[in-house]
Structure 1
Amino acid sequence: MRLIRIPYRLIGVTTAALLAAGCGEKHPAMAPHTPEVGVVIVEPAAVPVTTELSGRTSAFLDAQVRARVDGIVLRREFTEGSLVKAGQRLYKIDPAPYIAQLNNAKASFAKAHANLVSTAAQAERYKVLVASNAVSKQDYDNAVAAQGQAEADVASAKAAIDTAQIKLGYTDVTSPVSGQAGISQVTPGAYVQAAQAALMVTVQQLDPMYVDLTQSSLDGLKLRRQIQEGRLSTNGPNAAKVTLILEDGREYPEQGKLQFSDVSVDPSTGSVTLRAIFMNKDRVLLPGMFVRARIEQGVNPKALVVPVQGITHDQKGTALAMVVGKDNKVAMRPLVTSGTLGQSWIVDSGLNAGDRVIVEGIDHVRPGMEVKAVPARQPEAKADATAASGA
């Protein structure tokens, strides 16, 4: 048998042709995948309108105890930093000079009273004698005048006794209010003077506690205009709730109430003062602390809120949201926000009621892309899913 040799070049060409013929088969093209995104429908809701202001705490009562008579301080009868009651004696000033003044006033009163008895008796006798012309009318008039002078002397002596008793009482320096005593400014043996109004100690009532806040007159004007236009509703300043944020960033557990707003604007700062009151039974708040407060100033009945995960910010800080239009295409909307409410942003402009805002899958879409919008999962559902996966 004769073998026929086939050139390797021909084998290679034939193989390449067969491969080319196999690759030339056409398959139907696959349809592009439409991404699925979770959306929330923006609907009007009633939300409280809050503002955050800075301020400082001040004592509910702040009594500066000062000397009201001159004298040497004999002793201090309280412990610095302790709680004292109204009327409790704090200091004792040497009473000896004032006891002497009181005794002198009492002696003067006794002398004046004795003189009154004598002149009154004489005037009574002259009244009978002048009727029978036994004494002249002039003598009777002089007796009546002497009686009147004696009565005035008695009244003056009585007033001197009262004054001396008051001054003697001032030697007991008492607390005018119940509260916490501060640092004593005088020590036993010190000489105090009423003319100089020497400060001895300060007593402050720290429960409850005032918080004085400052608000610009412009913000106050905007608030009143929104109320007049019906965009906000309020139940009055006394019903407004105040949440306090301490210097370390923690939220104060007690909720306060707005007491009043000042009726005048400070011309140097262009601001008004708001005063709130907080219970302070644990003495967490001290006078002079710097704090921030969130005040509920009213209610916006038609506010638009969007979950925080549905809003991003560009490099300039502008808030942005991805919205699915009626044609199921994504559009980017710049927003104007006025703060947060829980886990949502309050949107002032940029969205309309009924808009579908993307809150899930936002990282996988871009403006102009066609998507499939489905309702976003609720936070409760997410939490249940997380718990189930953990189990």
Structure 2
Amino acid sequence: MRIASKMALSAVMLMLVSCSQEQATQPQAPSAGVDVGYVTLKPQAVARQAELSGRVVAVATAEIRPQVDGIVRRIVFKEGSQVAEGDALFELNDAKFKAAYAAAEAAMKKTEATLAGAQATFNRSEALAKTNAVSAQTLDDARSTLLQAQADEEAAKAALQTAQINLDNTIVRAPITGIIGISAVSVGSLVTENQTDAMATIRQFDPIHVDLVDSSANLMRIRDEVEAGRLGREEGIPASVTLTLDNGKAYAEKGEVSLADMVVSHTTGTVSIRAHFANPNRILIPGMFVRASVDLGTMPSAFLVPQRALTRGDDGEATIYVVSTDSKAEQRVVTTSGSVGNYWIVVDGVEADDKLIVDGFQKISNGKLVKAVEAAIDDDGVVEQAISTNAGEREVAE
């Protein structure tokens, strides 16, 4: 019995070993590959815009200060109203300036009389000197007196002109056209010549400026793209600008970039850019913060790569995965030029009709065999096409 049992056990073991060898010799079925979703890349015209923060600045600002000392006798303007260049704003007590003008005018008349007498004396002495009726010394004295009288008249004219200027300055006028603010003085206030505090401030609101801030590196990159012709814009043509206000509404008027400051900030490394806007309804107020969208131009042939499909290494190098001709995941290094919405703008490293992998990244690596399924991406960058897992289940990418 024992011998029979041992023989049966040996037969079973031989059968198991034989089956194992047969299985080992059978060829393995090839892997079907990892399921991935892809989109086909197509070159397209891409409008480039730069989103910058900015602050509204008046085109011109004039702080009103008196040019003479005096008591404010009258305030002529209405606070917050439009004033024109040359309009009267304040009237100062002018009594002493009228008296000074009268004195200067009298002195002027006195010098005119003296000059007339000196001129007559010189003419008479000059005529007599021709007949030797007077000495040469007398003629020289008459000439010296005449020159002194002429100098006195010029000094008197200057004094009279100064007195007239001071009298005119008792009426403080607007140096520019614009909106005048709150008066810092009242009737009866004493003001002094060129005082530190302004009596009022005038600002020009229409047109108006918006000062934007951008990094110097970005400004140089944009300039290089313009010079290379990648933005479809000729150098020297101003870029248009649109604004978004604090309340989220778009400003109706379009502006244009008027200048870029040629100085880089030592602390922030930024450059100031000034845009020019019409402001007929005075919606833009100096000091207001806004968001600006600067139209840089249109790239005639670029590729839009969903942000989810592009990664960057520690060195900042941008990479993507595409499906190769032999159905493998191929990693590529690409060059980006900014972004638009949920897409990176890629200008180098891809070609038309490349199959960009947009889903299934967790299971792939460079050279990995893949099973590609065409996918669709909505405007928010969400993959709408579901793909299957290796276990045969369905999953939807988000």
Indicate the TM-score class for this superposition, using the shorter chain for normalisation. 0.7 to 0.9
- Corresponding residue pairs, total: 341
2:226–2:234 contact (8 Å) kept in structure 1:
no
Report the counterpart of residue 42 of structure 2 in structure 1: 42
User: Aligned with 2:206: secondary structure?
Assistant: strand
Percent of matched pairs sharing the same residue: 38
**Cα–Cα, structure 1 residues 241 and 304, in superposed 2: closer, same or farther, change >3 Å?**
same
Displacement of 1:225: 3.5
Letter in 2 for 1:124: N
Spell out, residue by residue over 1:326-384, the C-alpha distance to the aligned partner (whole angstroms, 9 max, x if none): 4678889897755544686523566432224589xx79x9866645659x7999xxxxx
1:181–1:203 contact (8 Å) kept in structure 2:
yes
User: 1:50-69 counterparts in 2 under 5 A?
Assistant: 50-69=49-68
User: 1:57-136 counterparts in 2 under 5 A?
Assistant: 57-136=56-135
Report the counterpart of residue 164 of structure 1 in structure 2: 163
Report the counterpart of residue 352 of structure 2 in structure 1: 353
CA distance in 1, matches of 2:248, 2:355: 35
1:42–1:356 contact (8 Å) kept in structure 2:
no
Report the counterpart of residue 207 of structure 2 in structure 1: 208
CA distance in 2, matches of 1:100, 1:159: 16
1:70–1:194 contact (8 Å) kept in structure 2:
yes
User: Aligned with 1:86: secondary structure?
Assistant: coil
CA distance in 2, matches of 1:337, 1:248: 33
Displacement of 1:78: 1.3
Report the counterpart of residue 265 of structure 1 in structure 2: 264
1:330–1:366 contact (8 Å) kept in structure 2:
no
Spell out, residue by residue over 1:299-334, the C-alpha distance to the aligned partner (whole angstroms, 9 max, x if none): 43332125x6x95689x9x99988565467888989
What TM-score do you get using the length of structure 1 for normalisation? 0.74
What TM-score do you get using the length of structure 2 for normalisation? 0.73
1:328–1:373 contact (8 Å) kept in structure 2:
no
Spell out, residue by residue over 1:240-266, the C-alpha distance to the aligned partner (whole angstroms, 9 max, x if none): 111222223333222210001112223
User: Aligned with 2:60: secondary structure?
Assistant: strand
Report the counterpart of residue 173 of structure 1 in structure 2: 172
1:329–1:371 contact (8 Å) kept in structure 2:
no
CA distance in 1, matches of 2:239, 2:308: 30
Letter in 1 for 2:206: D
Displacement of 1:193: 0.8
Report the counterpart of residue 183 of structure 2 in structure 1: 184
Report the counterpart of residue 138 of structure 2 in structure 1: 139
CA distance in 1, matches of 2:205, 2:120: 62
User: Aligned with 1:253: secondary structure?
Assistant: coil
**Cα–Cα, structure 1 residues 258 and 180, in superposed 2: closer, same or farther, change >3 Å?**
same
Report the counterpart of residue 280 of structure 1 in structure 2: 279
CA distance in 2, matches of 1:69, 1:238: 48
2:90–2:171 contact (8 Å) kept in structure 1:
yes
Letter in 2 for 1:113: E
**Cα–Cα, structure 1 residues 238 and 73, in superposed 2: closer, same or farther, change >3 Å?**
farther
Displacement of 1:278: 1.1
Spell out, residue by residue over 1:18-71, the C-alpha distance to the aligned partner (whole angstroms, 9 max, x if none): xxxxxxxxxxxxxx9xx998955422x343433222221100111111111110
**Cα–Cα, structure 1 residues 145 and 89, in superposed 2: closer, same or farther, change >3 Å?**
same
**Cα–Cα, structure 1 residues 378 and 40, in superposed 2: closer, same or farther, change >3 Å?**
farther
CA distance in 2, matches of 1:351, 1:231: 16
Report the counterpart of residue 148 of structure 1 in structure 2: 147
CA distance in 1, matches of 2:265, 2:283: 30
Report the counterpart of residue 245 of structure 2 in structure 1: 246
Structure 2 unpaired stretches of 5+: 1-31, 380-398
**Cα–Cα, structure 1 residues 181 and 211, in superposed 2: closer, same or farther, change >3 Å?**
same
Report the counterpart of residue 8 of structure 1 in structure 2: none
Displacement of 1:288: 1.0
Report the counterpart of residue 194 of structure 1 in structure 2: 193
Letter in 2 for 1:268: T
2:48–2:340 contact (8 Å) kept in structure 1:
no
**Cα–Cα, structure 1 residues 258 and 237, in superposed 2: closer, same or farther, change >3 Å?**
farther
**Cα–Cα, structure 1 residues 279 and 89, in superposed 2: closer, same or farther, change >3 Å?**
same
CA distance in 2, matches of 1:217, 1:371: 43
Q: After alignment, is 165-174 or 321-330 more displaced?
A: 321-330
